[in-house]
Structure 1
Amino acid sequence: MIAAKKPSGKLSTEMFNDISILQRKWQAALRPDGRLPGYEDVMLGSLGRLADHIVLLKHNNETLEVSRTGRYVQKWLEDERWDIPLTALSPDCATALGEAAANALEKSRPHLSVAHCVRDGLVRTYDILALPTSSRWGGTLIGTYVNERSAQYNLLDAIFSQTDEGVLALATLRDASGEPFDFQIVHHNQGASRLLKLPTTGLLWRRLSAGGNLLCLPEVIGRLLDIVRDGHGDQFEVDSDDRNLKLGVTAFGDILSLTVTDVTALRQREASFRLLFDNNPMPMWVFDAETTDFLSVNDAAVQHYGYSRETFLRMKLQEIWPHDEWVTHSQALQQIGDAYSSRYWRHLKADGSEIQVLTYGRRVAFGGRDGYLVAIVDITERRRAEARIAHMAHHDGLTNLPNRELFRERLKQALEQAQPGNKRVAVLCVDLDLFKNVNDSFGHPMGDRLLKMVADRLRSEVRGNNLAARLGGDEFAVILASDVSPNEASDHAARLIKMLSATYGIDSMEIVIGASIGIALSPGDGMTSEELLRNADMALYRAKEDGGGVHRFFEREMDLQAQKRRDMELDLRRAFANGEFELHYQPLVDIASDRISGFEALLRWCHPEKGMISPAEFVPVAEDIGLIVALGEWVLREACTEAVKWPADIKIAVNLSPVQFRSRNLVQMVISALAQSGLSPTRLELEITESIFLAETEANLAILHQLRELGISISMDDFGTGYSSLSYLRSFPFDKIKIDRSFVKDLGERPDCVAIVRAISGLGRSLNITTTAEGVETMDQLDWLRAEGCNQVQGYLFSAARPAAEIEQLLFRFGRRASQAA
């Protein structure tokens, strides 16, 4: 394999997205002075499945070392070792990685190139993206992404159709600007080794610029470079003192198929036959065109088929055919003319084993008899690989259950078979309850093992014409194709829930999860696979809403709700484009001074037809569709711009969504908003909820620390309502914790609420963290909070959220009311 050029052709959507994500991460982490970004800023954090495709190269003292490799890269390298020199890898992979890294280091920029690998006769094309980064320990680290394109082609078929003798495959080497400058021999047959007078080990992976054979002449290299640039084949001859070689070249992108013919030897028919036949590493024979007797076999055929030469020469061609193909073979022989190629057959070896072969033949005169010269390519392993690939294309790689593609095909078939008799087909969408907790608590390897056990249980329960599939993540689906009644579907779903909810034993641990199921039945709930699957998914959503561990049937009301949700999505996008959102501001009152110390910015949406819509309705939808990132940026910029107009001691608090953290440009966005508005970072307070810590904790903590280093205050909202809020206080030094309104509401009636407020206030004083109580509506609540040492309050007792135009008047009026309340 060799790095060939800057990428050409079409990348898959997934690969294009992967490369774009990595390039954006590198660009975002680029330092202002143009120095390389830090390794931690680019290669750590939310790489997800991309980590499997990364090989980390360490560059020190002009050498490259393999520091770390992901699982996908290890399979590609066929080597799981870490901390080894790059030269310890196989030459094809080492060359590709080395060329990509060298170009990235030379330009100090990400370098995207293409590498071609020839294995088992197949050309595989890989995209390689090298990302140079600086290391805090000195030297340079190059994070290199490797992924295979889907397109492949058979090099053996392509080359064999062009030549009878010496065969080579050359991969083009390109410089940092993408221009071809040299070639590397990546594949050849023994004929090429013989004609070029070099041993096999001396040819493979050899660059032409290294010299040593006739192909290395400057005029030959020049002709080959022209062929690469033009993309057309060519034939020309090379003269030496004692030989005249004819070269036939065919371009396949950056791979050149090169056939080498000794024209002098071919002039003598006998010598030509010996070169082609006797020493050919490919099994070959000559058989009589009339009797089908074997007339001659080469050493490769004797070795490959296991018959002795004497036995071969006593046999007829039919004796290596399976009995069930005798008629087909005989008919084919009657139809062939002077030559044939690409004929697929089954052959029997001497030990009785069966192989699949590709045959090429031409009519020849041999010993005065009319015969056929046949060359054999054993494609047994290739066919097995194709069968495995076909299986993989329709099955989940982790659980070996049918995947979404095969599920849709089988569901379509079941519906077609059920339609004549108006029979029912049921689709069950299954989602695992509490599975995310397993991943978060024990890691993804444990989660993968659990998914395999879930798949085994589904296989044991779903049999016959029915089908169980994994659609992705912890989502599964079942087809019940045997004209099931609603009661039968309900009973089946109940059994599945019970079975999947039973304890799982893994490494002496007992893992407990559950399952929720949504059911849709044809023809009432849909006539197509898309309708049934969509409606079963809506029923599953209802089952999850109802607490999980249950099954629910699809109801038409669910479709109406889904339509309402789709309408909300469309309205949200239109509202954002039309500027229908505005900010209102609710005062934050300092209890000790009875003065407004800040305002919380709250998003409001007045729909032109439906009026005011609650944030509780539209914010979750905005998060689901990704609009919250752009909307959140607008909120931050608008709030900062407004806060600049207030007195210098008044802060502005802005809520952040967990989705904004996943965008990974949050810090830059905050910096931009502050710079554009001119607001001091010390006057900005960002409110988060504990859900930010439930995923990608390290990356999100790093973002919070970067924000805090700017002078921005960080506040935890809804403190006390989650299951691990206290642990988060150890993870990050918050400036403020906000006591949820649910504890404030019943302060006067419930002692437990008083105890919770007292505990949170005491915790805040001990950790030097400001405490703010939300939802204060009565003087009694204010007195309780003052008595318990709470620092700050907000609520309708002081003011609801008001438009920006009322802030100045609110500050004036509130000051008088606050003093009166005192």
Structure 2
Amino acid sequence: MTAGKKKISAKPSSELFEDIPVLKRKWQAALKPGQTLPRYEDVMLGSLGRLADHIAVMKNDSGVLQISRSGRYVQQWLQDERWDIPIAAVSPDCATVLSEAADCALSGGQPYLATAHCVRDGMVRTYDVLALPTASRWGTTLVGTYVNERAAQYNLLDAIFSTTDDGVVSLATIRDAAGKPCDFQVVHHNQGAARLLKLPSASLQWRRLRQGGHLLCAAEVMERLFAVVTHGGRDQFELDSDERNLRLGAHAFGDIVSLTIADVTALKRREASFRLLFDNNPVPMGIFDKATAKILNINDAAVSHYGYSRAQFLTMTIWDLWPSGEWENLDEALLRFDDTNHFHQDWRHLKADGSEIQVLTYGRCVAFDGRDGFLVAIVDITERRKAEARIAYMAHHDGLTDLPNRAFYQERLTQALERGAPAGKRVAVMCIDLDLFKNVNDSFGHPMGDRLLRAVAERLKAQMGSGNLAARLGGDEFAVIFGGGISPNDAGDFAGRLIATLSAPYEIDGNELVIGASIGIALAPGDGASSEELMKNADMALYRAKQHGGGVHRFFEKEMDRQAQKRRDLEHDLRRAFAHGEFELHYQPLVDVASNRISGFESLLRWRSPDKGMISPVDFIPVAEDIGLIVPLGEWVLREACFEAARWPGDIKVAVNLSAVQFRSRNLVQVVVSALAQSGLAPTRLELEITESILLAETETNLATLHQLRGLGVSISMDDFGTGYSSLSYLRSFPFDKIKIDRSFVKDLADRPDCVAIVRAIAGLGRSLNITTTAEGVETTDQLDWLRAEGCNQVQGFLFSAAKPASELEELLVRFGARVSQAA
């Protein structure tokens, strides 16, 4: 730690166990509907307080995990105060656990709690490391990581010595007047030593060996210890005592002797039964000469497995079992075997019939008939290797189409970019989406859809040349890589041919299936140098192709990126606006045609940005729906509208528009009940306006929700009637209180007979079904006259008033009667 820096202490364990749940709840609370990960700003900024010193922020920069920021406590733990450094630059014990926590958090999409055991100066410290994956506004993924010490530290060396079954004794040399060693005194020992020497620990400590009473006092042991002290170095020997076999190892450090004692009784007994176990072992085993590699012995299992007779085996060397191509590797392995006294490796072996198998060998040095040899056990792993190869293949290929999957595709794309960059060669990426594929699934079922995907894959494979790769990314999304310096013209021509190929009819089980394909193209290095950037841009080009009706290909253009950035900025601004209360409600009057009085107001959401002024709902409502913000925003609108309406005269209603996304949240009824209860507004004074899109999706569930709302006493109105797909069938499925005639029919009432006919039909339908009809967008007295003549019940539009803030409604209510009379 740098001089002058204040040391940051770990928080007590009680605080630690509070911090981790708090951070997890903070992460969970920041996760909005529709998000894969919460935003970094929502989780890691703001109210961290005392936790900030324990937080590090990591990011993935081109495949390299980096520590972007770190608090003071984390810096002390890392032993590094730098920011923006690769994780490999810090202490390996810290780097390992940080990598583990970050990888698991990112792959699982959830907070991940890891444990770090760091050894510093012989002391073991245990830390908890909580990784919180977050998304950033720049499109990258950041991992906020909390670090704190969990438990008391302990001495590693003491812990090892105290827990081992072997005995550990430290002896101090006692010398006579001539300086020769004449005795030893026990200055340290562990419990294992007391147990093996059969003495109480207190009696053993400080005991001199010449006092006798245990096996270390034996003359042969003393002589070996004197020799070690006198000549230096180390010694190892065995003692047989009390039907026990003990192995002693002595090492002198000046006048201190470190002595280890191990009970090898079981080992000796195992060696005694070696031949029995060798002969009857079901695993093929053999012994070969260390010097000549000649096979000295073989068991029955090896004879049976390899197909050679015992007599044949005993005339062979181990070279006869290895293919000649493996001999050089075998030479190297035998040299390592000689040095390390073990043998554990997989090989190719030959059987007597010439067939090749894959084996895993385990070996060790043994003495056999007075000769140095190697004992080798052999496990046939041929079938296991085949299964592993199949598993490896399946891990990189799509199980349905047998095309490479997303992971393999990303790997190959990265390789293509690395090869192409030095040579300046273009690499092309094509993202392919099937047009009308959903229709096949909906009409014929998923089994037919799966067969169609396999047929598409076969056509894709047939179009791939050498060095190109087609993959299935998921669903009906495919992708292609072109390396080798492809030109834009060649890429465009290929995309056109591919669209034609994939769009040709498919004959499956007597059914002719017709789909199409849309393709987005990005070219490296101009459209991106990394696989992530290239795929992102190709996907944007595909989106543009789909916007143009499908069946076409589009190249990535910088404008697409600008539009995507504009969209991301709008998403960010929307979240900030909601958090800072930049939204407000305006109210447009609903005028009763018969009485010429205001019967209600429609609440309309407005966004007043401090930087950009008023932003049109047309621009921000679809984005709010896409990112899930419309749910909390819609709840706010309901509460605000009900509170405001509660201050109006008792005969004035308020209408609130509902989004289809709010229905998917499944708590809409509870939200309405809560808004009514908190405001005190009578349910009969609340109108909820929906569009046909709500009834297009999950009809039974949404109809049940509508009936629940209706059961509260709330009125239900269908907005934009006549502009959708099947409005008449919806009027049969649910008893609406009101239908609103879209402004597109009102606009041309005076000039187009067809608009008059449509308005007349809707108004007549309303009278027949006892449903109120409201005409939107009334701007002229001629339009009002037409609507009155056709029997519309309600009107709204600029002829009466634009939408006004709540503060201006009282004046509007006071003055409106005269204005309506004059307009009429």
Pair 433,272 (structure 1): closer, same or farther in 2 beyond 3 Å? same
Cα deviations by residue, 1:297-336 (Å, 9 ceiling, x for unpaired): 4555455556566665565433332332122123312431
The answer to whether the 8 Å contact 1:266/1:272 transfers is: no
1:638 Cα offset (Å)? 1.4
Describe the SS at the equivalent of 1:431: strand
Number of the residue aligned with 1:328? 329
2:536 aligns with one of 518, 534, 537: 534
1:359 aligns with one of 346, 358, 361: 361
- Residue 739 of structure 2 is aligned to residue 743 of structure 1: no
Pair 719,393 (structure 1): closer, same or farther in 2 beyond 3 Å? farther
Q: Tell me which amino acid in the other structure corresponds to 2:418.
A: E
- Residue 415 of structure 2 is aligned to residue 419 of structure 1: no
Cα deviations by residue, 1:144-190 (Å, 9 ceiling, x for unpaired): xxx999x9xxxxxxxxxxxxxxxxxxxxxxxxxxxxxxxxxxxxxxx
Pair 568,406 (structure 1): closer, same or farther in 2 beyond 3 Å? same
Number of the residue aligned with 2:641? 639
Equivalences for 1:110-259 in 2 at 5 Å? none
Pair 778,500 (structure 1): closer, same or farther in 2 beyond 3 Å? farther
Cα deviations by residue, 1:354-379 (Å, 9 ceiling, x for unpaired): 44332221222345544322233344
Describe the SS at the equivalent of 1:647: coil
Equivalences for 1:298-313 in 2 at 5 Å? 298=299, 300-301=301-302, 304-305=305-306
Pair 495,724 (structure 1): closer, same or farther in 2 beyond 3 Å? farther
Separation in structure 1 between the aligned mates of residue 343 and residue 730 of structure 2, nearest angstrom: 70
Separation in structure 2 between the aligned mates of residue 748 and residue 304 of structure 1, nearest angstrom: 98
1:586 Cα offset (Å)? 1.8
Describe the SS at the equivalent of 1:465: coil
The answer to whether the 8 Å contact 1:265/1:271 transfers is: no
1:470 Cα offset (Å)? 2.9
Equivalences for 1:31-180 in 2 at 5 Å? none
Number of the residue aligned with 1:653? 655
The answer to whether the 8 Å contact 2:780/2:799 transfers is: yes
Pair 352,800 (structure 1): closer, same or farther in 2 beyond 3 Å? farther
The answer to whether the 8 Å contact 2:337/2:343 transfers is: no
Number of the residue aligned with 1:285? 286
Task: State percent identity of aligned pairs.
Answer: 72
1:614 Cα offset (Å)? 0.8
1:603 Cα offset (Å)? 1.0
- Residue 723 of structure 2 is aligned to residue 715 of structure 1: no
- Residue 667 of structure 2 is aligned to residue 668 of structure 1: no
Describe the SS at the equivalent of 2:379: strand
Pair 491,148 (structure 1): closer, same or farther in 2 beyond 3 Å? closer
Number of the residue aligned with 2:693? 691
Separation in structure 1 between the aligned mates of residue 599 and residue 346 of structure 2, nearest angstrom: 83
Separation in structure 2 between the aligned mates of residue 148 and residue 343 of structure 1, nearest angstrom: 38
Q: Tell me which amino acid in the other structure corresponds to 1:399.
A: T
Number of the residue aligned with 1:580? 582
- Residue 598 of structure 2 is aligned to residue 596 of structure 1: yes
Separation in structure 2 between the aligned mates of residue 557 and residue 268 of structure 1, nearest angstrom: 77
Q: Tell me which amino acid in the other structure corresponds to 1:427.
A: V
Q: Tell me which amino acid in the other structure corresponds to 2:336.
A: Q
Pair 745,336 (structure 1): closer, same or farther in 2 beyond 3 Å? same
1:535 Cα offset (Å)? 2.8
Number of the residue aligned with 2:478? 476
Q: Tell me which amino acid in the other structure corresponds to 1:321.
A: W
Number of the residue aligned with 2:505? 503
The answer to whether the 8 Å contact 2:519/2:553 transfers is: yes
Separation in structure 2 between the aligned mates of residue 348 and residue 669 of structure 1, nearest angstrom: 75
Separation in structure 2 between the aligned mates of residue 375 and residue 552 of structure 1, nearest angstrom: 62
2:464 aligns with one of 462, 465, 470: 462
Describe the SS at the equivalent of 1:685: strand
Number of the residue aligned with 1:524? 526
Separation in structure 2 between the aligned mates of residue 361 and residue 540 of structure 1, nearest angstrom: 59
1:803 Cα offset (Å)? 1.0
Pair 787,359 (structure 1): closer, same or farther in 2 beyond 3 Å? farther
The answer to whether the 8 Å contact 1:686/1:713 transfers is: yes
Number of the residue aligned with 2:409? 407
- Unaligned 5+ runs, structure 2: 1-23, 35-107, 113-162, 167-191, 196-242, 244-262
Separation in structure 2 between the aligned mates of residue 544 and residue 764 of structure 1, nearest angstrom: 39
The answer to whether the 8 Å contact 1:363/1:370 transfers is: yes
Pair 455,695 (structure 1): closer, same or farther in 2 beyond 3 Å? farther
Number of the residue aligned with 1:452? 454
Describe the SS at the equivalent of 2:273: helix
Number of the residue aligned with 1:391? 393
Alignment coverage as a number of residue pairs? 582
Describe the SS at the equivalent of 2:812: helix
The answer to whether the 8 Å contact 1:655/1:688 transfers is: yes
Separation in structure 1 between the aligned mates of residue 802 and residue 467 of structure 2, nearest angstrom: 61
Number of the residue aligned with 1:183? none
Number of the residue aligned with 1:513? 515
Q: Tell me which amino acid in the other structure corresponds to 2:798.
A: Y
Cα deviations by residue, 1:553-574 (Å, 9 ceiling, x for unpaired): 2333333323322332232222
1:636 Cα offset (Å)? 1.9
1:634 Cα offset (Å)? 1.8
Separation in structure 2 between the aligned mates of residue 383 and residue 584 of structure 1, nearest angstrom: 71
The answer to whether the 8 Å contact 2:600/2:655 transfers is: yes
Number of the residue aligned with 1:227? none
Q: Which moved more, 1:641-650 or 1:361-370?
A: 361-370
The answer to whether the 8 Å contact 1:653/1:684 transfers is: yes
Q: Indicate the structure (1 or 2) with the bigger Cα radius of gyration.
A: 2
The answer to whether the 8 Å contact 2:766/2:773 transfers is: yes
1:779 aligns with one of 774, 778, 781: 781
1:558 aligns with one of 537, 557, 560: 560
Q: Tell me which amino acid in the other structure corresponds to 2:563.
A: Q
Q: Which moved more, 1:693-702 or 1:641-650?
A: 693-702
Q: Tell me which amino acid in the other structure corresponds to 2:725.
A: Y
The answer to whether the 8 Å contact 1:515/1:550 transfers is: yes
- Residue 615 of structure 2 is aligned to residue 622 of structure 1: no
Number of the residue aligned with 2:142? none
Pair 334,567 (structure 1): closer, same or farther in 2 beyond 3 Å? closer
Separation in structure 2 between the aligned mates of residue 301 and residue 743 of structure 1, nearest angstrom: 92
Describe the SS at the equivalent of 1:777: coil
The answer to whether the 8 Å contact 1:284/1:374 transfers is: yes
Pair 330,264 (structure 1): closer, same or farther in 2 beyond 3 Å? closer
Pair 427,669 (structure 1): closer, same or farther in 2 beyond 3 Å? same
- Unaligned 5+ runs, structure 1: 1-15, 26-45, 47-146, 152-231, 238-243, 245-260
Separation in structure 2 between the aligned mates of residue 788 and residue 641 of structure 1, nearest angstrom: 35
Pair 600,420 (structure 1): closer, same or farther in 2 beyond 3 Å? same
The answer to whether the 8 Å contact 1:363/1:371 transfers is: yes
The two structures have a TM-score, normalised by structure 1, of: 0.62
